[in-house]
Structure 1
């Protein structure tokens, strides 16, 4: 998300591109819908995926066979019955965040302990304008946010930038870099960096991140709050925030431009852009919402 970022320090492109919805096993399936079937996902016997309001159990290895059209006694999928949010699915939290804990855990299976569902929900509650529109707008924004943090943090497997750390320290600011010139490297799900971002985010959140930047990688709510702060309030290299982009018609491509457009958009790094788009399409499928237009920047 930051200016002058060393993208090579992150493994996010490969991790984001390789990420896939993790299907539930048959023992976990209930009245709730499993993760939506994904044509690029390999399924093995007893994996469960949902499609068209039904859960389906794979009888053996399959990849491109659509459950709704390849189920039956002699085919690869067995229809497990209708699903739709009842039974064992976690109720979505209040405030319009339409992602359950089960879905979060399934789709970030290798996340670090700092990245908890409770921390995500608590942080979202500090930004009531996030995901506050109609159902389509809410789900698109949640999918866009998750896709970008998925890419930035390698499916939530990174809490901070790999060493050696760069000097993200603008000494022209009156407050300087009291924690040291390399203390403001990327941290958190959206890789907050630079002393002025730590200062501004800390002032907004009421936390002294300028002197204690490690809070971004150790506090389960603060780490997500910094991501929401950037998403809701910072234009980055764009003329609008990521929140304004996804809710105002600029589409998912606009969120990319707000986060790292100076390096990725306009042909700067099409592979990175495609990685983000792939993640967005997975999450919109999971949440059951049309992704809309303007996917690329």
Structure 2
């Protein structure tokens, strides 16, 4: 986007550039609508392809760093983890309601203003805990601490929270998932960042292998070798 018009001598001033449309962005994305439909044949209507493409503008490095192979691997890795977390983009919210009250860390100075049970998993990567809603909301300039329900009601916000975690958070790992894929540390490191405390180092091999299976499948749809270091 052009952020200011420049007037050269004896020429017509350059016009402000219009924001790039979702369609134009989709043309640059390594995943087509057809690929997306193949990956998520049963998906909830809440999770649209255009919603994902539009949300990517908040994190321009995602699926746009390191060349075609790396971009395809990163996208396959992101969507594989998303698929695992949501049952194939079927679930918008965490299904185990008994967990809901557990995600309030009262030791934080801002507490849980939306309520003890308000910070359950939502969205493509199942954002949970009051401190994650606070951090994601601050980064996206949306008050998710007081209104966490936006993540299950606004598709653009929902996708952006997933991309926020992917691009900025290390979780239980030593790198963000984005950095792990761009620096070729492998898909296994993305699992470690997202849920490594529960699935890595032999703690839940079945769940870890399900993520790996999805990643292999999605990489095949995009026509790219999955690379090395797939497990954690």
Alpha-carbon distance between aligned partners in 1 of 2:217 and 2:68, rounded to the nearest angstrom: 18
Determine if the alignment matches structure 1 residue 177 to structure 2 residue 177. no
Cα displacement (A) at 1:249: 2.1
TM-score relative to the length of structure 1 = 0.68
User: Within 5 A, what are the aligned runs for 1:19-58?
Assistant: none
Alignment-derived partner of residue 105 in structure 1: 37
Alpha-carbon distance between aligned partners in 2 of 1:116 and 1:273, rounded to the nearest angstrom: 26
Contact persistence 1:92–1:99 (CA under 8 A) = no
Alpha-carbon distance between aligned partners in 2 of 1:167 and 1:271, rounded to the nearest angstrom: 24
Alignment-derived partner of residue 136 in structure 2: 201
User: Within 5 A, what are the aligned runs for 1:86-125?
Assistant: 93-94=26-27, 96-125=28-57
Q: Which is richer in helix? A: 2
Alignment-derived partner of residue 160 in structure 1: 93
The match for 1:266 among 180, 191, 201 is: 201
Q: Deviations over 1:47-93 (max 9, x none)?
A: xxxxxxxxxxxxxxxxxxxxxxxxxxxxxxxxxxxxxxxxxxx9871
Q: Residue 279 of structure 1 aligns to a residue in which SS? A: helix
Contact persistence 2:39–2:218 (CA under 8 A) = no
Alignment-derived partner of residue 126 in structure 1: 58
Q: Residue 103 of structure 2 aligns to a residue in which SS? A: coil
The structure having more radius of gyration, on CA atoms, is 1
What runs of 5+ residues in structure 1 fail to find an aligned partner? 1-89
The match for 2:127 among 174, 192, 199 is: 192
Cα displacement (A) at 1:173: 1.0
Contact persistence 1:91–1:100 (CA under 8 A) = no
Cα displacement (A) at 1:100: 1.1
Q: Deviations over 1:23-70 (max 9, x none)?
A: xxxxxxxxxxxxxxxxxxxxxxxxxxxxxxxxxxxxxxxxxxxxxxxx
Cα displacement (A) at 1:137: 0.6
Alpha-carbon distance between aligned partners in 2 of 1:271 and 1:153, rounded to the nearest angstrom: 16
TM-score relative to the length of structure 2 = 0.86
Q: Residue 166 of structure 1 aligns to a residue in which SS? A: helix
Q: Deviations over 1:244-281 (max 9, x none)?
A: 11111210001000100111011011101110000000
Determine if the alignment matches structure 1 residue 140 to structure 2 residue 61. no
Alpha-carbon distance between aligned partners in 2 of 1:122 and 1:91, rounded to the nearest angstrom: 10
User: Within 5 A, what are the aligned runs for 1:212-231?
Assistant: 212-231=147-166
What runs of 5+ residues in structure 2 fail to find an aligned partner? 1-22
Q: Residue 125 of structure 1 aligns to a residue in which SS? A: helix
Alignment-derived partner of residue 210 in structure 2: 275
Alpha-carbon distance between aligned partners in 2 of 1:115 and 1:193, rounded to the nearest angstrom: 18
